[in-house]
Amino acid sequence: MRSAFLTMFIKEIKSIIRDPKILITMIIVPIVLTGLMYGIMGAMTTQAVKQAMKPGGEILLVDLDHGYWAENFTNYLASHKYTVIKYNDIDSAIKNYDTALCILVIPKGFSENLTRGYRAYLKIYYKIRGISFTSMMTGYKIYGVIGQYSDMISKHILEKAGLSPEYVSSPVNSTSNIVIGNTIIKNIDPSQVTGPLLILGLFIPLIIGLLAGFVAQLSATSIAVEKEEKMLETLLTLPLSRFSLIAAKVAAAFIVSLIGGGAYFVIMAWYFSQISSLGPANNNASSIALSALMKAVGIQTPILLIVAGFGTLFLALGIAILLAMFVDDVRSAQIISGYIIAPLMLSIFIGLFLDITSMSPIQQTAIAVIPFVNLVFILNLGLTGNVTAQLVVAFSSWAYAIIVLYVASRIIGTEKIFTMKLFKRKRRTSYSFHLLTR
Instruction: Answer yes or no whether residue 231 interacts with another protein by CB under 8 A.
Output: yes
Nearer CB in complex with another protein: 91/233:
233
> Using the rule CB under 8 A, which residue among 7, 72, 113, 384 binds another protein?
7
Instruction: Answer yes or no whether residue 19 interacts with another protein by CB under 8 A.
Output: yes
Nearest approach in angstroms of CB 327 to another protein is 17
Nearest approach in angstroms of CB 23 to another protein is 10
Nearer CB in complex with another protein: 21/155:
21
Identify residues 305-324 at the interface with another protein (CB under 8 A): none
Instruction: Answer yes or no whether residue 258 interacts with another protein by CB under 8 A.
Output: no
Nearer CB in complex with another protein: 98/415:
415
Nearest approach in angstroms of CB 15 to another protein is 6
Interface segment toward another protein; rule CB under 8 A; list 12-20, 89-97, 300-308, 319-327: 12-20
Whether the CB-CB separation of 106 and 63 falls below 8 Å is answered with yes
Question: CB under 8 Å to 92, separation ≥6 — which residues?
Answer: none
Identify residues 190-229 at the interface with another protein (CB under 8 A): 229
Q: How far apart are CA 6 and CA 11, in angstroms?
A: 8
Element housing 179 (H / E): strand 178-180
Q: How far apart are CA 410 and CA 53, in angstroms?
A: 63
Q: Which of 192, 430, 30, 140 is nearest to 421 (CA)?
A: 430
> Using the rule CB under 8 A, which residue among 148, 191, 234, 388 binds another protein?
234
Instruction: Answer yes or no whether residue 418 interacts with another protein by CB under 8 A.
Output: yes
Nearer CB in complex with another protein: 265/418:
418
β-bridge partners, 87: 62
Whether the CB-CB separation of 241 and 366 falls below 8 Å is answered with no
Instruction: Answer yes or no whether residue 422 interacts with another protein by CB under 8 A.
Output: no
Q: How far apart are CA 329 and CA 225, in angstroms?
A: 7
Interstrand relation of 102-106 and 123-125 (parallel, antiparallel or unpaired): antiparallel
Nearer CB in complex with another protein: 85/238:
238
Nearer CB in complex with another protein: 236/350:
236
Nearer CB in complex with another protein: 271/326:
326
Instruction: Answer yes or no whether residue 98 interacts with another protein by CB under 8 A.
Output: no
Q: Which of 207, 261, 198, 425 is nearest to 329 (CA)?
A: 425
Interface segment toward another protein; rule CB under 8 A; list 13-21, 31-39, 79-87, 251-259: 13-21
Phi and psi at residue 312, to the nearest 5°? -65, -40
Instruction: Answer yes or no whether residue 45 interacts with another protein by CB under 8 A.
Output: no
- Strand ranges of the sheet holding 123-125, from the earlier edge strand across to the other edge: 82-87, 57-63, 102-106, 123-125
Nearest approach in angstroms of CB 235 to another protein is 10
Nearest approach in angstroms of CB 8 to another protein is 8
Instruction: Answer yes or no whether residue 236 interacts with another protein by CB under 8 A.
Output: yes
Nearer CB in complex with another protein: 34/432:
432
Helix, strand or coil, per DSSP, at residue 212:
helix
Q: Which of 337, 239, 267 is nearest to 26 (CA)?
A: 337
Interface segment toward another protein; rule CB under 8 A; list 45-53, 135-143, 265-273, 411-419: 411-419
Nearer CB in complex with another protein: 163/238:
238
Interstrand relation of 183-185 and 178-180 (parallel, antiparallel or unpaired): antiparallel
Question: CB under 8 Å to 55, separation ≥6 — which residues?
Answer: 80, 81, 82, 141, 145
Q: How far apart are CA 101 and CA 83, in angstroms?
A: 10
Q: How far apart are CA 240 and CA 93, in angstroms?
A: 82
The site for another protein (CB under 8 A) is made up of 1-2, 4, 7, 11, 14-15, 18-19, 229-231, 233-234, 236-241, 414-415, 418-420, 434-438
